[in-house]
Amino acid sequence: MDRYTIHPEIDQDSAPYWKSLSEHAAKMQKCEICGEFRFPPAPTCYHCGKAGGNWETISGKGKIYSWIVVHHPVDKRLAEEVPFIVALVKLREGSRVVGRLIGCNNDEIKAGLQVRAVYDDVDSELTLLNFEIDI
């Protein structure tokens, strides 16, 4: 049985992102014109509006921008994992991404905390980008 009943819809724009997570080397789109990274994946740059861009491996490092503590599991199969932290991480590359913060107590978390990527191989088709404190 899968850990999660809901998988993200992987489309043409996001397929390279999900593939990079399965390889444990997260990539994001970088605009060829303005040089900004963008997330979520999209055919055009959020910053300058130009189409295209290259997929580049990111550092996986960033800082906690915000977070929530989940007490009620959205999926019943997460019932034994609550409470857990879902963090909004501002990556060194500038984009913000959401992921679970692993191995951190609720009273330890604070804005600006340094984190690094960890990869959660949910099943053969899905790897999620999560984070842990980067000491």
- Collect all residues with Cβ–Cβ distance below 8 Å to 27 and sequence separation of at least 6: 16, 17, 20, 55, 56, 57, 58
* Cross-strand partners of 61: 116
By beta-carbon proximity to Zn ion, the closer residue of 30 and 100 is 30
Tokens of 77: 């199969």
Task: Write down the least CB distance from residue 94 to Zn ion, Å.
Answer: 12
Q: Does 31 bind Zn ion (CB under 5 A)?
A: yes
Indicate if the alpha-carbon torsion angle 94, 99, 105, 106 is positive or negative. positive
Query: Which residue in the block uniquely carries the two structure tokens 């990539």?
Result: 27
15, 25, 42, 48: residue in contact with Zn ion (rule CB under 5 A): 48
Task: Write down the least CB distance from residue 28 to Zn ion, Å.
Answer: 13
* Residue ranges in 63-92 that form contacts with Zn ion under rule CB under 5 A: none
Stretch binding Zn ion (CB under 5 A), from 37-45, 67-75, 85-93, 103-111: 37-45
> How far, in whole angstroms, is CA 92 from its chain's centroid?
13
Task: Write down the least CB distance from residue 35 to Zn ion, Å.
Answer: 7
19, 44, 47, 86: residue in contact with Zn ion (rule CB under 5 A): 47
Task: Write down the least CB distance from residue 40 to Zn ion, Å.
Answer: 15
Query: Which residue in the block uniquely carries the two structure tokens 């991404």?
Result: 97
The SS3 of residue 22 is: helix
The footprint of Zn ion (CB under 5 A) covers 31, 33-34, 45, 47-48
